[in-house]
Amino acid sequence: MLRAAARYMIRSAVLLGLLAGLVAGGWLAVDRLIIKSAGPHAETALVILSPGDGHSTIRWTLKRAGVIRELYHYDAARILAGKSFIPKEGEYEIPPAASIEQVMAILHAGRSHQRRLTIIEGMTAAKVLAQLAADENFSGDITMQAAEGSILPETYFYTRGTTRDAMLTRMQEKREMLLLDAWVGRDKDLPFKTREEALILASIVELETGDSVDRREVAGVFVNRLRRGMRLQSDPTVLYGVEGGEGRVIRRSDLKRETEWNTYVIKGLPKTPICNPSRDSIDAVMHPAKTKNLYFVSDGHGGLRFAKELDEHNKNVRLFRKVQREAGQRGS
C-alpha cells in the first residue's frame, strides 16, 4: 500500500510539474488529450458533492463513480482550468462517456440533478408524511403539522438534501393557492359557506370515483343532497377515523357507527377532509354538473350508474350485486 501510494505521489508530482511547464510554454496538446477524451463510463452516473469537499475528495468521488480513469487526470484538468473551475455542492447527473472537461463544467455550473416525488391523488396526510420520512434523499425531520387535505397531490421536483419541512411547505402552499383560485372562480349558489367546506366535499368526490368525467356528476349529486338536507351516505367516509378500518370491507355495523365523518349517520359534511383531493376533484366541486340525480352506485365494471329516484337507484344496486355474484362465480 505504501509503495503504491508513493508511486502515485511521484507520478502526480511529475505530471503536475510537466503540466506547469507546458502551460508556461503554451503547449497544450497533451492536456487536450486528457481533458477532452471520452470518459470510461457507458451509463449515466450520479455524483454527489457534499459541503466542504476538497479536490482530493472530489477526485476520489469521480473515480469511484467511474467517470475518470485516473485520479491525476482530475488534477491535470483543474490546474488547466484554474480559477474558471469552482465545484459546487449538490447531486449531479453525468452523461455517458462525458469527458473530464464536460464533467467539470457540470460541477462548476451547479445545476443539481432533479429528483421526483409523486403524491398520489387521494392519499391521506399520514401516508404522505410516511412517504416523505422514508425517502432518504430528503434531509431533516418533519416538524410541521399536516392537516388532512392540506397537501396537493402532484409530481414535485427537488434536489437531494432538500429538507422534509421545505417539501411539505411547498405542497401545502401549492394546495392553498389552487384552492383559493378555484374558490374565487366557483359557480354561484353552491351549498358551502367556505372553501374549507368545498375541500371536504372534494375529498369525498376523490374517493368515490377516479373517472374525471364522473367527478362532476358525483359532485352534482352531493350538491343536490346537501341542498335538500339529505345525508350524503358516502361509503368512503364510513371507515375514516376508525382504528384498523382503512382498507377493509365495510360491514353493516360500520354504517351505524357514530363518528364525525360517517355520512350515513351525520347530516351535512364530515368534520374534516378524508384525504388529499386532486385538482380535478376540487374543480368538480366548484363547478358541479347541473343534474337532477340524487343517487349513484358502481356498475361493477369501473363506472357508475346514476339515478334521480330511489326506485331506479335500488334497481341499479341489484344490477351491481348481480355483477358481483357473477364475478364471484367465475372466480370460484
- 8 A C-beta contact, residue 107 and residue 92: yes
Kindly state the cell numbers that stand for 262: 360517517
What is the chain's Cα-based Rg?
A: 30
* Residue 248 pLDDT class (50, 70, 90 cuts): confident
pTM over 0.95: no
Where on the phi/psi map is residue 247: left (φ > 0), alpha (ψ -120 to 50), or beta?
A: left
**Pick from 196, 220, 191, 215: nearest CA to 205:** 215
| pLDDT over 90, % of the chain | 72
Stated as kind and residue range, the H or E segment containing 34 is helix 29-36
pLDDT for 7-29, tens place per residue? 555 455 545 554 554 444 444 55
* Residue 331 pLDDT class (50, 70, 90 cuts): low
pLDDT for 106-146, tens place per residue? 999 998 999 999 999 999 999 999 999 999 999 999 999 99
Q: So where are the chain's domains?
A: 2-109, 115-176, 189-331
pLDDT for 33-77, tens place per residue? 778 889 999 999 999 999 899 999 999 999 999 999 999 899 988
Stated as kind and residue range, the H or E segment containing 216 is helix 212-228
Burial 32-58 (b: 16+ CB within 10 A, else e): eebbeeebebeeebebebeeeeeeeeb
Cβ neighbours around 183 below 10 Å, total: 17
Mean pLDDT score, 149-160: 96
Stated as kind and residue range, the H or E segment containing 9 is helix 2-25
